[in-house]
Amino acid sequence: MNLQFDDTIVALASAPGAGAAGLIRISGSEILPYLSACFESDADWQQQPRRAMRHPGELKLAGSETRLPGALYYWPTSRSFTGQPLAEFHTVSAPPLLEAAIEELASQGARMARPGEFTLRAFLAGRVDLMQAEAVLGVIDAHDHEELNLALSQLAGGVSTRIGRARIELLELLAELEAGLDFVEEDIEFIDRATLVSRLEQIRLFCEQLYADSAQRMESSGSLSLVLAGLPNAGKSTLYNALVGDAQAALVSDVAGTTRDYLVTPLNWKGQSIHLIDTAGLETGAHAISVSAQNFRQAQTQQADLVVWCTAADLPSELRAEDREQCTRLAETRNVLTVRTKCDLSPAADSEHAVPADAELEISVAEGTGLEALQDRILERLSEAHRGGRQLIGSTASRCRESLRSAGQSLQAAEEAAEMQLGEELVAIEIREALQHLGSIVGQVYTDDILDRIFSKFCIGK
């Protein structure tokens, strides 16, 4: 990869095809001659070289006397996004006219930008770190509000700032350890072992938390998994049909154990992508088909982001203890929402057959009650489960996972060396290793191959 970026690049920065507006972006160490040759304005914009300005005017089109009206936003100094003079021309979205305008700029000597080159220049200029650069692509590729908010948070530097603080903390520890090495004969201790171990432990736990998050992101398919579970004949398939909006989606019968396979339907609720899954009722398999159904059910519930446990209002009294036990056991390892179904069949409150109302929600598909509240509660619980836990977009998790694991191992080794009263030089070696790994995450340490792999995924103009 050629990392010399003194030449001037130009590209269409808005989406291709018709749209609300068109955007042409141009950047380089000397872009003023290109703009002067192609852009015309009543304002004397070339005499204001020290601050960003908006200038109404027109851009010439290649091969004709036609002018494309719009506004030029011009950042004449290194304080721009790319760290060098940058201009953006905002105009109407007319693909042939935009292409002609780009051709006119190219005829003056500007070259077409490579994929991700504007963001790459911003990274090399120190305007963004590597995680923030990846977040630019994350914003573009976000498929729902959760993904967008996660990418925006990473773009704002939330995780990068925390990693930066960890690196500063490690550098301070390293400085104190090496200062102690210079005065080893005087028996001067610049930092006591208990404090050293405690500070190393805090940074290690942070790295391990990010590593766990990266593992979760690698396993995630994007959409969240919502599983309906419960004992046989708990109304799961009826509820599944109601949530899907298709009364024939799943076979419904009063005969317990009707569902043997599992059904999956992709949904989009208020911008959140969800895979809704109906599973067989929980029971002890007596033959091969039943055993297979239970294996499917267990596999789906163990991978679920949220399990809706359905308890029928007319559940026989001899099954109540089992229902409660199975729900409690599942809730120990999974995110579970308890729902009381078939409330239209509920026995009288004073009846000995009445089911205790310990569920979070009560619904009746037959009467159409509680379904909207259930949908809202599901979205709330899914949001709670992922809010704060997820800190990395998928591409960053994939790239940084091994570095986070190695950083945690180095810090663990440094802790152990400090606890065992081994020499400061051994602790310092492990801290340097951790610094190297953390530096590669934010881009303090990088290679051409890493940059090629990241920025080749970008579209032209970003």
Higher pLDDT, 257 or 6: 6
Mean pLDDT of the chain: 81
pLDDT tens per residue across span 153-163: 888 888 889 99
Distance CA 249, CA 239 (A): 11
DSSP state of 73: E
Higher pLDDT, 357 or 305: 305
Q: Provide the annotated binding site for (6S)-5-formyl-5,6,7,8-tetrahydrofolate.
A: 25, 88, 127, 462
**Check whether domain 155-219+392-443 has CATH 3.40.50.300, yes or no:** no
The answer to whether residue 413 scores a pLDDT higher than 90 is yes
Distance CA 21, CA 23 (A): 7
Task: Give the model's confidence band at 52: pLDDT under 50 very low, under 70 low, under 90 confident, else very high.
Answer: confident
Task: Give the model's confidence band at 270: pLDDT under 50 very low, under 70 low, under 90 confident, else very high.
Answer: confident
Chain region(s) in the chain for CATH 1.20.120.430: 155-219+392-443
DSSP state of 172: H
Reading across the β-sheet that carries 22-27, which strands appear in turn? 39-40, 53-60, 67-75, 86-91, 22-27, 9-12, 111-112
The three-state DSSP-derived secondary structure of 24-57 is EEEECCCCHHHHHHHEECCCCHHHCCCCCEEEEE
pLDDT value, residue 24: 92
Distant-in-sequence, close-in-space partners of 369: CB < 8 Å, separation ≥ 6: 343, 362, 363
Chain region(s) in the chain for CATH 3.40.50.300: 230-380
How crowded is residue 366: how many other Cβ atoms within 10 Å of its Cβ? 13
Domain covering 9-127: architecture: 2-Layer Sandwich (3.30)
pLDDT tens per residue across span 194-239: 888 888 999 999 998 888 877 766 555 456 788 888 888 888 888 8
Q: Provide the annotated binding site for GTP.
A: 233-238, 253-259, 278-281
Q: Provide the annotated binding site for Mg(2+).
A: 237, 259
Task: Give the model's confidence band at 349: pLDDT under 50 very low, under 70 low, under 90 confident, else very high.
Answer: very low
The answer to whether residue 462 scores a pLDDT higher than 70 is yes
Find which of 176-190, 286-300, 323-337 is predicted with most confidence, using mean pLDDT. 323-337
Is residue 337 within 8 Å of residue 309, measured between CB atoms?
A: yes
The whole-number average pLDDT for the span 21-48 is: 85
The answer to whether residue 296 scores a pLDDT higher than 80 is no
Q: Provide the annotated binding site for K(+).
A: 233, 253, 255, 258
* Pairing between β-strand 306-312 and β-strand 272-278 as defined by DSSP bridges: unpaired
**Check whether domain 230-380 has CATH 3.40.50.300, yes or no:** yes
Higher pLDDT, 421 or 165: 165
pLDDT value, residue 12: 92
Chain region(s) in the chain for CATH 3.30.1360.120: 9-127
Using only the alpha carbons of the chain, give its radius of gyration.
Answer: 30
Least confident of 102-111, 182-191, 302-311: 182-191
Give the pair of three-digit tokens for residue 227. 């599983």
Q: Provide the annotated binding site.
A: 25, 88, 127, 233-238, 253-259, 278-281, 462
DSSP E strands: which ranges in 82-185? 86-91, 111-112
